[in-house]
Amino acid sequence: MTKRILFTGGGSAGHVTVNIALMPIFFDMGWDVKYMGSAHGIEAELLKKFDDVEYIPISTGKLRRYFDLENIKDPFRIIKGVFQAFKHIKSMKPDVVFSKGGFVSVPVVLGAWLNRVPVIIHESDITPGLANKIAIPFCSKICVTFPEAKEHMKGSKAVYVGAIVREELLHGRSAHGLTLCNFTRSKPIIVCMGGSLGSQRINEILRRNLHLLINKYQVVHICGRGQMNSSYNHREYKQFEYVDNDLADILAMADIVISRAGSNSIFEFFALKKPMLLIPLSQNASRGDQILNAASFRSSGFCEVLLEEDMNDESFVEAVNSLFEKRIAMIENMKKSDHKNALQKVAAVIQNLSK
């Protein structure tokens, strides 16, 4: 009998890319692969390229840590989503559910638990996010990226697997990236990105200091949807709202990267041996997970870190130049500390639970 796996996760690209990395393994093993997410979230868009994956939309509500009038409506959307997930899961009878997290995953995990379907959660950060905190009591195993994450998980559910990286990112073509951006090898190349939704703070400080940076570098700026600015027009500055298929090629040509400190992104840069300037979300704007991620990478010699409260024009440009000067040593540190086989470890956990 053909085995079936249901993936879930969404709200940002980071909550989808791990699932996308895992799916080919289960295609190759002949499993039936399905995905449950929100109707209009980024997960629905990213899954369009998988013709063999049935996408099942459900009602979702955002899990906020701040006051918003939508907080009154969202619990009812989540409850509706739980009923929809329960009904779909009861009908499709998956052998296992794999959840990457994000607000859409909570109804799916609860729906699976009510149907007594085993659930595996993946947690990328050192401490679990709000959605995963809610879901953990209803799961069988938690796959963690950082070894120290096990300290934040009660019981014996946590399994250290390391970082999952999309295979296609490892095969980027630097020459294609240069052509795409109309760049040359005359100057070093910076790739700056603030996650799939962009970062207004990073966008602003990069553009404000662009006149200084392009004296020494060429700059690729992945600024987030709706955050392009046509007034910044220079041959050595290339803007994108979002990059999907060409990201591997753009990263392949990069000498250094400026980024937030989301776990999925920084481990992808790590796999590609790209020195990083990490600007984590502040404690005021998050639960502090990116600060912990960045601190872990800095202690291993993989990156420079610039905290938002310390960021100004002078400190930003200084940090970029310092990163470039230290890039060779950082690359050597990353080569000595390679993580491998995370995909196979997670696939093994999934297979063992589906028996």
How far lies 52's CA from each of 24, 26, 47, in Å?
A: 11, 12, 10
- Cα–Cα distance measured from residue 295 to residue 351, given in angstroms and rounded to the nearest whole number: 34
**pLDDT value at residue 71:** 62
Same fold, 4-163+340-353 and 168-336: yes
**pLDDT value at residue 197:** 55
**pLDDT value at residue 340:** 64
**pLDDT value at residue 60:** 86
**pLDDT value at residue 49:** 87
- Cα–Cα distance measured from residue 153 to residue 300, given in angstroms and rounded to the nearest whole number: 23
**pLDDT value at residue 147:** 83
- 183-187: list long-range contacts, CB under 8 Å, 24+ apart: 183/218, 183/220, 183/236, 183/238, 183/253, 184/218, 187/216, 187/217, 187/218, 187/236
- What ranges do the domains of the chain cover? 4-163+340-353, 168-336
**pLDDT value at residue 184:** 96
CATH 3.40.50.2000 applies to domain 4-163+340-353: yes
- Cα–Cα distance measured from residue 289 to residue 231, given in angstroms and rounded to the nearest whole number: 34
- Pair of tokens at residue 14: 């980071």
CATH number for the domain formed by residue range(s) 168-336: 3.40.50.2000
Are 294 and 262 in contact by the 8 Å Cβ rule? The answer is: no
**pLDDT value at residue 336:** 86
Nearest 5°: CA angle at 287, between 303 and 21?
60
- Cα–Cα distance measured from residue 284 to residue 288, given in angstroms and rounded to the nearest whole number: 8
**pLDDT value at residue 35:** 97
pLDDT by 10s per residue, the chain, length 355? 899 999 999 888 778 989 999 999 999 999 999 999 998 888 998 998 898 999 999 998 776 555 555 666 777 888 999 999 999 999 999 999 999 988 899 999 999 999 999 999 999 888 888 889 999 999 999 999 988 888 888 778 999 998 888 888 999 999 999 999 999 999 999 999 976 555 889 999 999 999 999 999 999 999 988 888 988 889 999 999 888 889 999 999 999 999 999 888 899 999 999 999 999 988 776 667 899 999 999 999 999 999 999 999 999 999 999 999 999 999 999 998 756 678 889 999 999 998 6
Please tell me whether the overall predicted TM-score, pTM, comes out greater than 0.85 for this model.
Answer: no
